[in-house]
Every structure is written in C-alpha cells, then in structure tokens.
Amino acid sequence: MSANSSPAEVFRKLARNVAERAGSPWAFLFTLAIVIVWVCVGPYFRFSDTWQLVINTGSSIVTFLMVFLIQNTQNRDTREIHLKLDELILVSSKARNDFMELDRLSDDNLAEMEQALSAARKKRSAAGETNAAE
C-alpha cells in the first residue's frame, strides 16, 4: 500500500473535503431544505413520535460523524500553523529558538515560560522600551 493510499491519508483527504463542503452555502441550503421538507410532512404523519425520531436520529448521526472530521482538519491546520511559525522563528535572527515547538511542552513548562515573558515585558515597560520591530 503506497503512502498516498494509506488509511490515514484517505481519511485526511476525506476529512478535508467533507469539512470544505460542509461549510459551504450549498450544504446549508441542502440542510435547510431537508428541515423544511421534514416540517411540511409533519401534518401527514400527525407529528408522531416516529416523525420526530427521524430528524433527531439523522441529526445525531451527522453531528457525531462531523465532530471527528472537523477535529481532524482542525488538528492538521493547527499543526501547519505551528510549523509555519517555527520556520519564522528559525529564520529570524532576533527570535529565540525557545519558542519553537511550544506545542510539545508540558503545561508546567508553558506556565514557567509565560511567567518569564511577563517579567521580561514588565522590565521592558519600566525601561521605556517598546515592542515595535526595529
């Protein structure tokens, strides 16, 4: 099995395509049309429990599946942003490499870094320095 047809790659492509299409105006209009049809057939089915169960079950299934697909694309987007920021830090002569791969640090390490940055900011403010690029 090649890298392009691995289950992870197939899922990634599926998740990306579904997320893009699900966020489109056409998807909204299609979903709205389903709801309108469902409401219109309500009197025919005398607004029965089964009639209500159809929309409840359908929306629950779609929501359940969409959570995983959207989370996958969000995780990938976040990873891409981190890589881009890491590259900017790497090529900037004034940036500290300590900020690369922050997503891999523990919460305690992040809290320590946040406190250190806060102290440095206060020190710069007291000295009258600005954050503007030189």
Q: Which residues of the chain have pLDDT under 70?
A: 1-3, 129-134
Distance CA 132, CA 129 (A): 9
Domain ranges of the chain: 3-96, 101-134
CA distance readout (Å), 82 to 57, 93, 102, 104, 132: 38, 18, 8, 11, 23
Query: pTM of the prediction?
Result: 0.63
Q: 15, 14, 57: which is closest to 34 by C-alpha? A: 57
Residue 99, pLDDT score: 81
Residue 130, pLDDT score: 62
Indicate the angle between helix axes 25-40 and 7-22, nearest 10 degrees.
70
Residue 2, pLDDT score: 59
Residue 27, pLDDT score: 94
Residue 127, pLDDT score: 84
